[in-house]
């Protein structure tokens, strides 16, 4: 295991859960340095327990990954020997509305980080640049078939095209400069601390507020869902035992259509807050009555399904949280963590960031 791990995007959904999981890992005795620009998707509250419990081993640097000089200083200051690169613009709908930031952060930002690693590590071998990527780089599947590590890239949204580009840069640095790298391409994550623009938290919170549940197109697009802790355990296995230069697919092996998920969420929320007791619900209505089929997302990929036999066989990875259990935990988390939810819905978290981080 490495001593000084630089996590980028650690205040976001998967990154903050990763930091929590890594500190709990018995093999890890080192420090975590988190670089985050604190975009709309970040919430330092995601790590308030970590700041308290790991004071001597957790360090936060507000910084943009595109800023080479800053990252270079941070590399030297903390003697970084491993990078786990989560930072990205991550929401497909936003990439359709406004792609520029996706190009800047996902492509230029990754390039800048790679360059910092190359210049600081030179010929060092006991270091690692681990890049977090997505199954969306492989494009869209029909009714059958799976994405393998060998599947040709065929990205179809500005988001997935920017992630594909960053994957290619990471591989180029391995082949050209011998930079020790690994890449993981993961399917759809869900769980605590996910920004409520993504399907699952968005639908849960809309139910609580008695608002419509907008399902794109016919609702039959399929995603492969994985609980965020399972994703992060898989990443830790790759960091510890993965072969340099290799790519590993990570997936939940749980294919679900969007409409089936929304129906399941309606039932799970109803178990905890029955619609009849929710003051925001019209009398006599069920949560399922809020479902509304709306205009489809442009270029909406039809189906994703990951084959993750390689990581299972080579690194003994297994998912531990079945979908129904994960959904129950997730619904409970959003219903119980009203302070976190309200800080986001009211925009209060942004004021908090301004107050506490404006000087950095």
Q: Rule CB under 6 A: say whether 199 interacts with ligand DAU.
A: yes
Count of CA atoms in the C-beta half-sphere (13 A) of 248: 28
Does 188 interact with ligand DAU (rule: CB under 6 A)?
A: yes
- DSSP 8-state symbol, 104: I
What is the smallest separation between the CB atom of 163 and ligand DAU, expressed in angstroms? 7
Beta strand spans in 22-127 (E): 31-36, 58-62, 82-85
Rg (CA), the chain: 20
- Among 11-19, 24-32, 139-147, 316-324, the segment contacting ligand NAD (CB under 6 A): 11-19
249 binds ligand NAD (CB under 6 A): no
Would you count residue 42 as binding ligand NAD (CB under 6 A)? yes
Q: How far is it, in rounded angstroms, from Cα 137 to Cα 184?
A: 11
Per DSSP, what are the bridge partners of residue 183?
131, 247
Interface stretch with ligand DAU, choices 65-73, 196-204, 283-291, 342-350 (CB under 6 A): 196-204
Q: Which of 134, 137, 133, 121 is nearest to 174 (CA)?
A: 121
Exposed / middle / buried, residue 160 (Cβ in 10 Å: 0-12, 13-18, 19+): buried
Q: Does 216 bind ligand DAU (CB under 6 A)?
A: yes
Residue 105 binds ligand NAD, judged by CB under 6 A:
yes
* Among 30-38, 48-56, 73-81, 266-274, the segment contacting ligand NAD (CB under 6 A): 30-38
Closest distance of CB 196 from ligand DAU, Å: 9
Q: What are 236's two structure tokens?
A: 């830790």
DSSP designation for 282:
P
- Alpha-carbon gap, residue 157 to 336, rounded angstroms: 35
From 66-74, 88-96, 175-183, 316-324, span contacting ligand DAU (CB under 6 A): 88-96
Handedness of CA 27, 29, 30, 36 (dihedral sign): positive
Tell the smallest beta-carbon distance from residue 66 to ligand NAD (Å): 6
| Contacted by 9, from ligand DAU, ligand NAD, none: CB < 5 to 8 Å by type | ligand NAD
Answer with the entry of ligand NAD, ligand DAU, none that 17 interacts with (C-beta below 5 to 8 A by kind): none
Interaction between residue 223 and ligand DAU (CB under 6 A)? yes
CB 35 within 8 A of CB 66: no
Among 109, 155, 201, 251, binds ligand NAD (CB under 6 A): 109
Quick check: 164 binds ligand DAU (CB under 6 A)? no
Kindly compute the dihedral angle of the four CA atoms of residues 47, 48, 49, 51, in this order, to the nearest 10 degrees: 90
Q: Copy the structure tokens of residue 154.
A: 């065929």
Site string for ligand DAU, 237-266 (x = CB under 6 A): ---------------------x--------
Residue 230 near ligand DAU by CB under 6 A: no
**Vertex 150 angle, CA 147 and 156, to 5°:** 55
Q: Number of helices and strands (H, E) in the chain?
A: 14, 12
Q: How far is the CB of 135 from ligand DAU (least distance, A)?
A: 5
Question: By the 8 A CB rule, do 227 and 300 touch?
Answer: no
Q: What residues make contact with ligand DAU under the rule CB under 6 A?
A: 90-92, 134-136, 187-188, 198-199, 202, 214-216, 221, 223, 258, 297, 304
Q: What residues make contact with ligand NAD under the rule CB under 6 A?
A: 8-9, 11-15, 35-39, 41-42, 64-66, 86-90, 105, 109, 132, 134, 163, 186, 188-189, 195
């Amino acid at each position: 295991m490495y001593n000084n791990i630089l996590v980028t995007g650690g205040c976001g959904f998967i990154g903050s859960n990763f930091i929590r999981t890594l500190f709990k890992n018995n093999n890890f005795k080192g420090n975590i340095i988190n670089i985050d620009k604190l975009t709309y998707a970040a919430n330092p509250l995601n790590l308030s327990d970590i700041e308290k419990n790991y004071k001597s081993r957790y360090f936060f640097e507000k910084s943009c990954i595109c800023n080479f000089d800053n990252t270079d200083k941070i590399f030297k200051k903390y003697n970084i020997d491993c990078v786990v690169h989560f930072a990205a613009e991550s929401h497909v709908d936003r990439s359709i509305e406004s792609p520029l930031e996706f190009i800047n952060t996902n492509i230029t930002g990754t390039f800048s980080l790679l360059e910092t690693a190359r210049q600081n590590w030179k010929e060092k071998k006991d270091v690692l640049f681990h890049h977090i990527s997505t199954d969306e780089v492989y494009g869209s599947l029909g009714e059958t078939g799976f994405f393998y590590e060998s599947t040709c890239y065929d990205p179809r949204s500005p988001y997935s095209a920017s992630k594909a580009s960053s994957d290619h840069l990471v591989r180029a640095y391995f082949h050209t400069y011998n930079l020790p790298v690994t890449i993981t391409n993961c399917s759809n994550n869900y769980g605590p601390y996910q920004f409520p623009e993504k399907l699952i938290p968005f639908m849960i919170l809309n139910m609580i507020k008695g608002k419509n549940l907008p399902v794109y197109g016919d609702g039959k697009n399929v995603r492969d869902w994985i609980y965020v802790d399972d994703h992060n355990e898989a990443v830790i296995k790759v960091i510890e035992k993965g072969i340099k230069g290799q790519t590993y697919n990570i997936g939940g092996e749980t294919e679900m259509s969007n409409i089936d998920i929304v129906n399941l969420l309606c039932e799970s929320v109803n178990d905890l807050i029955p619609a009849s007791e929710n003051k925001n619900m019209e009398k006599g209505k069920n949560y399922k009555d809020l479902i509304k089929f709306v205009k489809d997302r442009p270029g909406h990929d039809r189906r994703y399904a990951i084959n993750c036999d390689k990581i299972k066989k080579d690194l003994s990875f297994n998912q531990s949280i079945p979908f129904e259990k994960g959904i129950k935990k997730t619904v409970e988390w959003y219903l119980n963590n009203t302070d976190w939810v309200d800080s986001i819905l009211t925009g209060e978290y942004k004021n908090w960031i301004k107050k506490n981080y404006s000087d950095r």
